[in-house]
């Protein structure tokens, strides 16, 4: 177990906090504390430089105008994030944050935003907007159960050659390209899923923490309520997915 305080960074919450993704940071801190691991939530305001001393950097979702401002701030602090990653920091990016860790994002209005370039991927805003429940089947190497969440975005994200997604989608749009959602790299996860996604998927939260504190530190905790929520959301999303497929079949048959 790590002997120092685990520092969970919530980056630019006033810009990338539209969809309640703060809940992801709260859950990570709480899951540490319940295991006797000292942890703190560090909020990094948009007018502050990004520190290079955090253990995890959480980039949340936001609308186009705040996202544009966030992209400028992120690029200005790119060197700090690079140093942090070199020291083993983890990056978890959701929706707008996910788009901005790529090479570029072209908004629906045609504005081109340069990303951090942490991942070889590009996003273009397009219609229709993707809204609704999503189920992702994570890459087998993660040993994660299905991940559930809620998407609300117009992005179409294309991953570069050799870049791994978080996993294929069985319900919902995800990246909107290739039938997958998100991205999975060394100590980095990106996804379009809100909810927030980590309260709905405690196994994914622990997957991120494992990179920071190690497997041995993740002693069992009481997850009966979050496990029940996960089962309920998975069942609801699956049922919604089947209804949509039946509707499409009927429509196509005329």
- Mean pLDDT within 11-30: 95
Question: What mean pLDDT value characterizes the chain?
Answer: 92
Distance of CA 72 to the CA centre of its chain: 20
Digit-coded pLDDT (tens) for 105-124: 998 888 899 999 999 999 99
**Cα–Cα distance measured from residue 120 to residue 159, given in angstroms and rounded to the nearest whole number:** 6
Confirm whether pTM is higher than 0.75.
Answer: yes
Instruction: Decide which of 3.40.109.10, 3.40.50.2300, 3.40.50.880, 1.10.3720.10 is the CATH code for 6-253.
Output: 3.40.50.880
* C-alpha 139: how far from chain center: 15
User: Three-class SS of residue 129?
Assistant: strand
pLDDT of residue 109: 85
Q: Which residues does the annotation mark as catalytic?
A: 95, 194
Domain residue ranges of the chain, discontinuous segments joined by +: 6-253
In this prediction, residues 224-248 reach a mean pLDDT of 77
pLDDT winner (highest mean) among 57-71, 82-96, 234-248: 82-96
- Which residue did the predictor score with more confidence, 110 or 155? 155
Q: How many C-beta atoms surround the C-beta of residue 253 within 10 A?
A: 6
Q: Per-residue DSSP letters for 59-119?
A: E----HHHHHHHHHHHHHTHHHHHHHHHTT-EEEEETHHHHHTSSEEE-TTS-EEE---SS
pLDDT, mean of residues 90-104: 97
Which pLDDT belongs to residue 108?
Answer: 83
Rounded-to-integer distance, Cα 15 and Cα 18, Å = 7
Q: Say if residue 166's pLDDT is above 60.
A: yes
């Amino acid at each position: 177990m790590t002997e120092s305080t685990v520092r969970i960074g919530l980056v630019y919450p006033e810009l990338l906090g539209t969809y309640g993704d703060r809940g992801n940071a709260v859950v990570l801190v709480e899951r540490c504390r319940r295991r006797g691991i000292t942890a703190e939530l560090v909020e990094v305001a948009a007018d502050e430089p990004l520190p290079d001393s955090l253990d995890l950097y959480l980039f949340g979702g936001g609308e186009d105008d705040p996202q544009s401002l966030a992209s400028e701030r992120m690029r200005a602090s790119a060197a700090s994030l690079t140093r942090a990653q070199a020291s083993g920091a983890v990056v978890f990016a959701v929706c707008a944050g996910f788009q901005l860790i790529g090479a570029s994002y072209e908004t629906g209005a045609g504005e081109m935003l340069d990303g951090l370039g942490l991942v070889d991927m590009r996003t273009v805003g397009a219609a229709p907007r993707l809204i609704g429940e999503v189920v992702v089947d994570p890459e087998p190497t993660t040993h994660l159960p299905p991940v559930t969440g809620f998407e609300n975005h117009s992005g179409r994200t294309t991953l570069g050659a050799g870049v791994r997604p978080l996993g294929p989608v069985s319900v919902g749009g995800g990246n909107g390209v290739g039938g997958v959602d998100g991205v999975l790299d060394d100590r980095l996860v990106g996804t379009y899923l809100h909810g927030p996604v980590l309260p709905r998927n405690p196994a994914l939260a622990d997957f991120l923490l494992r990179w920071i504190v190690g497997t041995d530190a993740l002693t069992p905790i009481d997850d009966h309520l979050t496990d029940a929520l996960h089962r309920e959301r998975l069942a609801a999303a699956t049922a919604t997915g089947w209804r949509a497929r039946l509707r499409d079949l009927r429509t196509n048959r005329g």
